[in-house]
């Protein structure tokens, strides 16, 4: 998850591309695990990082 957080906050890659880059085949599974771990959606993380 650390790598995905870094990619989401430091680039303009879509969530789907980040999921693939960190080894998930399904972006929906990535979203589910991300929310369970970080308590925010990947898209929400992107919005928060750009503020």
7 Cβ contact partners less than 8 Å away, ≥ 6 residues apart: 13, 18, 21, 22
pLDDT in tens, 2-45: 899 899 888 888 999 999 999 999 999 999 999 999 999 998 88
- Tell me the CATH number at 40: 1.10.10.60
pLDDT band at 49 (very low <50, low <70, confident <90, very high): low
**Stated pTM of the model:** 0.81
Q: What is the pLDDT of residue 44?
A: 85
**Helix H or strand E encompassing 27:** helix 27-38
Do the beta carbons of residue 49 and residue 12 sit within 8 Å? no
Using CA atoms, how far apart are residues 36 and 51, in angstroms rounded to an integer?
A: 23
pLDDT band at 1 (very low <50, low <70, confident <90, very high): confident
Using CA atoms, how far apart are residues 6 and 49, in angstroms rounded to an integer?
A: 10
pLDDT band at 50 (very low <50, low <70, confident <90, very high): low
Domain count, the chain: 1
Domain limits for position 19: 2-49
């Amino acid at each position: 998850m650390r790598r995905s957080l870094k990619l989401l906050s430091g680039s303009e890659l879509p969530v789907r591309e980040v999921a693939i880059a960190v080894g998930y085949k399904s972006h929906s599974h990535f979203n589910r695990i991300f929310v369970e771990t970080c308590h925010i959606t990947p898209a929400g993380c992107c919005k928060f990082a750009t503020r």
